[in-house]
Amino acid sequence: MLKNDNSLYAAFKAKDARFDGRFFVGVSSTRIYCRPICKAKRAKIENCLFFPTAAEAEQNGYRPCLMCRPELAPGSSMTDAGTDLVYRAARMIEKNCGNRQSLNELAENLGCTDRHLRRVFAAEYNVSPVQYLQTCRLLLAKNLLTDTDLPVSKVAVAAGFGSLRRFNDLFRTQYDLSPTALRDQGMEPGKHNGNVTLALGYRPPYRWKEVLEFLDGRAIAGVEVVRDNEYMRTVRLLTAELKPVYGWVRVGHGREKHTLTVTVSESLLPVLPQVLARVRHMFDLYCDPDAVYEVLSKMNDIRPGLCVPGTRLPGSFNAFEMAVRAVLGQQVTVKAASILAARITAIYGKPVRTGIDGLTHVFPSPEDLLSLEGPIENHFGVLGVIATRSKTIHELAKAFVRREVNFDLNAQPEEEIKKLMAIKGIGSWTAQYIAMRAMEWPDAFLETDAGIKKALYPHTPMELLEMAEEWRPFRSYATINLWNAV
């Protein structure tokens, strides 16, 4: 429990969106917990307790507010976490809450013992990893019950519960009402239409237009479409049983509520937590824009308007797809790289039916490319990919399949960059770009990039590196600001 001081209450009183997701307010008179931005009648300070996570509020006997909906709060920013290990553990729990991953497996993936993980997690969040996981599942289920007309049985499975009975019992215990009773309070009766739309929160400001333009300029035909102020793409993911599932996802902007609206095909329900985690990464929803701007605002001393509050770091939905496209983009234009990626997709990607104009294939997996007979350059050469880049993509596919390079949340980007650069044909620019977008590394800087040099002309690359030292640990965000400037 956080210290009950006036500063937290002041943020709650002001409904300050900067603190949304950073703490939750438990009201002792009602036993309900809220986000700091809740519009309900404000409780007196003597009735308020402050918790760093929704999980701790629930473990102390508080139920989520039906008005401000804590399940929509942005996740913790890396600037909020006391330790990197706890931050990464929380993110992995959220991503894998549908997989029934054991604590031992989680700790092993993070390179520590389960005992150490429990200790540091309790010290940071005052709950155990298992309790945090339970809250993740309950809040995802609450989100599905409130915003969709999915049958309760499908809600239970999608949220990661092993049985409907277990889901109903835990929901009643924690929230003092049944899943159907919650739905009756907020849903209009209707027939299930086959798709699922949820909202994911972010901390404002958010430069949605610039993120969409960035993704549009790099979209792979057949796989991605940007249209009508929305981003759409095909999806291939593996279930906990390693069974591939195919579908599509559409992301729009709910500006007034500081959310992104995420619609997924029902075929992706078995991997819903994975989909939502990848959307959060791709659209940088964990970002604390004020912390970033506090460091990078000094860029405006070079030229006014060079750094704009709310700039996000566009990530990737599919790390292999993005890495291949980065290799294809070496020494050619952004448009040319997209054309080459689209040709590879059309020939070697898997066709999927989406019902959405322009979404026809999923990008080939590394296993798909490694299964090609004969030298890969014989396949890619006719598509316009030169032999050296074809071979680099082949080696990159091997690295993915053999897990020689780590792209997961437990990656140490500086170490993985060295591994990437050991692959013939991948230099510093490509490795840092991949780390920036696929590994969520906030501190990459591409001093030899043409756009960077143009934005900061006439400085040399060495001068740019020296200049960028002041922008740590957010040099990736500086890079995006500089690209936006040109």
List, by residue number, the catalytic residues. 34, 449
- 271 near 245, Cβ under 8 Å? yes
Helices (H) then strands (E): counts for the chain: 22, 11
Two tokens at 367? 């296993």
- Which residues is 429 bridged to in the sheet? none
- 314 near 282, Cβ under 8 Å? yes
Q: What is the DSSP letter of 65?
A: P
Q: What is the DSSP letter of 247?
A: E
350, containing H or E segment: strand 350-351
- 231 near 254, Cβ under 8 Å? no
Counting Cβ atoms within 10 Å, is residue 2 exposed (0-12), middle (13-18) or buried (19+)?
Answer: middle
Question: Which residues are CB-neighbours of 125 under 8 A, at least 6 positions away?
Answer: 52, 53, 55, 56, 86, 90, 132
- Range list of β-strands (E), 38-120: 48-51, 63-64
- 351 near 480, Cβ under 8 Å? no
Residue-wise burial string across 418-449, b where 16 or more C-beta atoms lie within 10 A, e elsewhere: eebeebebbeebbbbbbbbbbbbbbbbbbbeb
Counting Cβ atoms within 10 Å, is residue 386 exposed (0-12), middle (13-18) or buried (19+)?
Answer: middle
